[in-house]
Homo-oligomer: A and B are copies of this chain.
Amino acid sequence: MGKDGWYTEEWAGQGSALSLRLKDKVHDEKSPYQRIEIYETETFGTLMTLDGLVMVTDRDNFVYHEMMAHVALFSHKAPRRVLIIGGGDCGTLREVLKHDEVEHVDQVELDERVTRVAERFFPELCVANDDPRAHLYFQDGIQWVKDAAPGSYDIIIVDSTDPVGPAAGLFGEAFYADCHRALRPEGIVVGQSESPLFHTELIKAMHAALRATDFLDVATVHFPQCTYPSGWWSATLGRRDATLTSFREDDCRERSFATRYYNAGIHEAAFASPEFLFKALL
């Protein structure tokens, strides 16, 4: 917290920065993995930062969490077993468990402290943590997928931090090959894939890595995310044995749960590729 009452994240290598006006700092700890800070902001509600980078705010996390969960789940005919890598704030887990078809979710987050802090300061994101279908593990997600029995999951969601440090391995071929093996036929892996404006090369590399590891179809979905670099974010999906061009549209329109960003129109629209990205991916 600067002396001036603002939290500022400088967007690495992008000569730009986002600031949020603060009311108070309410928590600060160093876990074995990272520094976890919680602030009360003036207009974005509670803010969690990890090593000084915005992870989640009350005001805009709904877009990210809904898009990380529902696009993949409604793209799959029968998503019964789901694995979440990372996802420590539990917002994605909450969205996944809104699907009655889901029978079992393993969430593998490296840093238990992120989840414990989220339970305290973001209780609304953690409402599903006690769901009997939810199984929380605090260990290395890369190793988890390596050790997973073949065909264990229908969906793998990689809800990770930026591709530096421990998270870097979540964007590479070795990891995707393990995901492919751990997925059932027609299974889907979806990972957050940063900003289309700032990180076009990363998205390109993810497409190449997913194709190289035998995913039949690969696609990127786009959504606004005010407090992430450039305000524009993406997730990239790989599907084995099937394409990503259709989804359970009727189920989506008749869904029994509330969303704030996602709906059937957004599902289809999110796959539209801006011209520059379309060309970069040719």
Contacts and interface: CB of A to CB of B under 8 A. Distances in A.
Nearest to A260: B276
Nearest to A273: B265
Contacts of A272: 265-266, 268-270
Contacts of A270: 269, 272
Given A224-B230, A231-B232, A262-B274, 14 more contacts: A15-B41, A16-B20, A17-B18, A17-B19, A19-B19, A222-B224, A226-B230, A226-B232, A232-B232, A260-B276, A263-B278, A268-B269, A269-B272, A270-B272
Count the copies.
Answer: 2
A60 interface: yes
A252 to B, nearest CB: 11
By CB atoms of chain B within 10 A, which of A19, A261, A275, A276 has the most?
A275
A49 to B, nearest CB: 15
A162 interface: no
A268 B269 CA distance: 7
A231 B42 CA distance: 19
Contacts of A263: 273-275, 278
B15 A44 contact: yes
A196 to B, nearest CB: 8
Contacts of A276: 260-261
Contacts of A230: 224, 226, 231
Contacts of A143: none
A25 interface: no
A63 to B, nearest CB: 8
Contact of A16 (B13, B21, B225): B21
A6 interface: yes
